[in-house]
Amino acid sequence: MSVEASPMDVPISTDRTRRGQPKLRLPKISRSFLLSSLTVALLLAAWTVVTEMGWANELFLPKPQAVWAAFVKTMTKGYQGATLLQHLGASLYRILTAFALACLVGIPLGVLMGVSGNARALLNPLIEFYRPLPPLGLYTLLVMWLGIGESSKLSLLFLAGLPGIVISTIQAVTSVDPVYVRAAQSLGATRRHLLFHVYLPAAGPLILAGMRISLGFTYTVLVAAEIVAASAGIGWMIWDAAKFLLSDVVIMGLIVLGLTGVVLDLTMRGIARLLMPWART
C-alpha cells in the first residue's frame, strides 16, 4: 500500500528562534556597512558633543556645522581662486600621473629582477639603498635639480611609489610555483609565453596588492609635494589654510583627502576583481 505524502508532511529546514519565529539575518555586506556607518556616527556624535559643550576651543576644533559651511563655500566660491573640485582635480592629476609612471617602470623592473638572478644581483643594491630613504629628504634635491614646477612634485610622488611596486613584484614573481614553470617549459613554452601565461597570472594578485599599498603611500606624500610653490591642490589648500588658522578649511580638506583615498582604494580593488576574478581582494 502506497502512502502519499502531503505537502505538510515534508520537513522544511528553516532558521528559527526558540520561540518559533524566523530569524532576520542581514547580508554580510549590509552588516559591514551598518557597522562602518555606526563608527562614523559615533565619531560625529562625539565631535558634536565636544564642540557644543565648549570642551574644545573652536579656533582649533570647529563645530561640524562650520566644517560643512566651509565645504559648501569652497565648492561654490572657491578657496584662493580655485574651487574645491579644481583643487581636487590638481591633486588627482599629480597622484595618478606619478602612480601610473611608477607602475610602468616598477612592474617591468620587478618582473625582470624576479626572473633573472643577474638582474636582481645588479639592481637590488640600488633598490635596497634607496628604499629606506624618506621621500621628503629627496625633495630639496629635486627642487634644486628640477625647479619648483610640476616636475619636482611628480618626481617626488613617483619616487615615493616606485620601491613598493618593485619589491612587491619581485616577491610575487619569485613566489610562483616552479612546477608551473617546468610544466609550461615541457610543453614548449617560450619566454614570452612563460611571462604572459604563467608568471603574470600567478603573480598578478600579489602585484596588485603591492600596487594598492604603493598608491596609499604615495597619497600620504601628496601634502608635502604640494607645499612648495603650488597654487592649487588639496594638500596646498590644507597647508595654506593652516597658516591662517582656518581650522574649518583644514579639517574639511583632511576629510576630503581621506574620502578620496578610500575611493581610490575601492577603485583599485574593483580593477583587481575585474582583471583577476580568482584573486581574493
Contact 253, 91 (CB under 8 A): no
Residue 27's pLDDT is 55
The mean pLDDT value for 48-70 works out to 91
Residue 5: DSSP 8-state: P
Contact 109, 126 (CB under 8 A): no
Residue 184, CB-side half-sphere exposure with 13 Å CA sphere: 18
Taking residue 212's Cβ as centre, other Cβ atoms within 10 Å add up to 19
Q: Name the band, by pLDDT with cuts 50, 70 and 90, for residue 34.
A: confident
The mean pLDDT value for 124-128 works out to 89
For the whole model, what pTM was predicted? Answer: 0.81
* 74-275: CATH superfamily: MetI-like (1.10.3720.10)
Taking residue 3's Cβ as centre, other Cβ atoms within 10 Å add up to 6
Residue 15's pLDDT is 47
Share of the chain above pLDDT 70, in %: 88
Residue 40's pLDDT is 87
**Rounded distance between C-alpha atoms, residue 222 and residue 158, angstroms:** 11
Site of grid cell 643594491: 125
Site of grid cell 607645499: 227
CA angle at 251 for the pair 216 and 258, rounded to the nearest 5°: 20
Residue 202's pLDDT is 86
Residue 28's pLDDT is 54
Residue 10's pLDDT is 45
Average pLDDT, the chain: 85
Residue 77's pLDDT is 94
Residue 182, CB-side half-sphere exposure with 13 Å CA sphere: 3
Residue 17's pLDDT is 47
Number of H helices, E strands in the chain: 12, 0
Residue spans of the domains in the chain: they are 74-275
**Per-residue model confidence as pLDDT tens digits over 68-116:** 999 999 999 999 989 999 999 999 999 999 999 999 999 999 999 998 8
From the list 162, 242, 109, 213, the residue with the least C-alpha distance to 154 is 162
Angle at which helix 135-146 crosses helix 150-174, to 10 degrees, equals: 130
**Per-residue model confidence as pLDDT tens digits over 156-183:** 999 999 999 999 999 999 988 888 888 8
Residue 182's pLDDT is 85
The mean pLDDT value for 208-233 works out to 88
